[in-house]
Amino acid sequence: MNIEQEILLAYHTADDQPIGGGSSKGWVTNFYKFLTTLLEQVSGKQPNIKMVSENDSHVDLYSSSGVLVSILSKDFLNNPTLINGVNLFASSSKENSTLSMGGLSRLFKVIKFPIDVDNFLPEYSDILSYDFFHIDPLTGEPQEFKRFFGNEAERSYWMKMVDMSYDIYQIQTKLEELGTKKKEEKEVGKEKTIYLANSGVDMIIQRDTVKRELIRHGYRVLPDQSLPKDVHALEPIIKQDLDRCCLSIHLVGEDYGYKPAGSELSVVDIQNQIASKHTHDIHDYNVKHGGGEKFSRLIWLSPDLKNVSERQKIFIEDLKSDAASLDEAEVLQIPLQELKSIIREELVTGGRFKAKEIEVDEQLPEDGNLIYLICDQMDTEAVKPVMDCLKDKGFSVVTSMFEGDLMDLRYLHQENLRRCDASLIYFGKSSPEWIRTKMQDLLKAPGFGRTKPMKATAIFTEDNSKVDNLVNNSGTLVLGDGSFEPKKIEPFLAKLQD
């Protein structure tokens, strides 16, 4: 394979008119400048990028370039010269079986404003695009980036630019390895392959953040191609990708997501349902055959949910109910930074598949009187009278901890659920989402290694109406309905003494 030009940047001149906004340069010229700068930072050397438009006749460059970055727009896609160039590049790459390398395409589809590219380039519909536009959160309308420095631009435009720079660098590295025959490309194993499901438009930035972290730590992220827009073609591809993964991650916000043709469900919902079935199937297979097939599922709910539609509320509640039925699935409503730490635990330490070695207090009572008193950090002062009361009555008490490494705290919480005889949740100033999470943890206690049922579970709250709908027939007592008094927890203690 003869590569004479490292990177070819193809564009239509109509997309490079001066855009204003404090810049006399055009959109493409700015793009070229930023890409050059980032690639130099990533690779440590000056990149060789050549710009070609519909007015250039460098046909030979298309067939001898390592990477083609095409700025796709209405004008570009309606221009025969530019389309022929894309086809020539792709056909030359296919002849050498190098159009796709390590899950990345040598053809980079940059979309500066929404347009149905597949209608013009249907043969490349499976190649992921890089969407360099943003959605107005108020109107839901797409908007071009005409200013490149600002809060929203820094979070969206620049993150996508960084992602693409890393992807180009990876392709260049693989081309160098192929050319010098340093080593053969190795297939990435299941233990290093992650399914990162699509998200609604409000979670695009967060999804990009997680994807970038995974890739930089050496993980392959699926799907690595554009998903079909028809549900009948979509479902088998999702199943195929999940079969190749050890973990699926689902980021859920306020937007339900778009619906593919032939479905009343969004792609976000469909991916969740198929991943849920996949998790159940693997769980059932392991139980039936004593297998050790590893697959887990992390569902992240944005802590900032506000304007949630009724449809999305139903979707979120279904997610929580489904996840509560499986030890291998977990719903988290925590800051994104904490989510990234938990993902690392799942992947690096083995998560729930591998016991974490951490010092715990082995001096526990043998008389069945250990109570796990669970509270939020903002209620640490309010819960002290409850703890003192329990100790005065002769019970041993362990309580929630808040200082230390996040992973250690999460493990200690699970360990306390595994070893306690009863649990009492103090629900004071915290949010309804917090108490729901703790109730789900109680249901999942067997998944943490618990071998016998708890003697009693209870929630103490100053307002019973806030939690009555959460317990239903779970057997969990709801106590309090006012300020704490020792007599109010007597029904809970009576169960311990049965």
pLDDT tier, 59 (very low <50, low <70, confident <90, very high otherwise): low
Mean pLDDT for 445-459 is 77
Q: Check whether 441 has a pLDDT greater than 80.
A: no
Same domain, 15 and 141: yes
pLDDT tier, 359 (very low <50, low <70, confident <90, very high otherwise): very low
pLDDT tier, 1 (very low <50, low <70, confident <90, very high otherwise): low
Domain, as residue range, for 439: 370-496
Same domain, 222 and 321: yes
Same domain, 77 and 164: yes
- The domain total for the chain is 3
CB distance 248 to 275 below 8 Å: yes
Same domain, 192 and 182: no
From residue 442, alpha-carbon distances to 183, 257, 323, 452 in Å are: 50, 31, 13, 13
In a domain, 430, yes or no: yes
Q: Check whether 238 has a pLDDT greater than 90.
A: yes
Average pLDDT, the chain: 82
In a domain, 361, yes or no: no
Phi/psi for 388 (5° steps) reads -60, -40
Residue that terminates a domain, selected from 170, 186, 202: 186
255-269, 282-296, 337-351, 410-424: which range is least confident on average? 337-351
Same domain, 40 and 124: yes
The contacts of residue 364 (CB under 8 Å, 6+ apart) are: 370, 396, 419
pLDDT tier, 498 (very low <50, low <70, confident <90, very high otherwise): low
CATH number reported for the structural domain that contains residue 432 in this entry: 3.40.50.2300
Residue that terminates a domain, selected from 354, 384, 409: 354
Q: How confident is the model at residue 308, as a pLDDT?
A: 85
Convert the pLDDT of each residue in 148-206 to its tens digit. Answer: 555 555 567 777 888 888 889 888 888 887 765 434 334 568 888 999 999 988 888 88
Say which amino acid occupies 101.
M
In a domain, 340, yes or no: yes
Same domain, 25 and 151: yes
Phi/psi for 301 (5° steps) reads -105, 130
| Whole-angstrom distance, CA of residue 213 vs CA of residue 248 | 15
Residue that terminates a domain, selected from 166, 186, 206: 186
CATH number reported for the structural domain that contains residue 144 in this entry: 3.40.50.10140
Q: How confident is the model at residue 406, as a pLDDT?
A: 63
Convert the pLDDT of each residue in 387-438 to its tens digit. Answer: 999 999 888 899 988 877 666 677 788 888 888 889 999 998 888 778 877 8
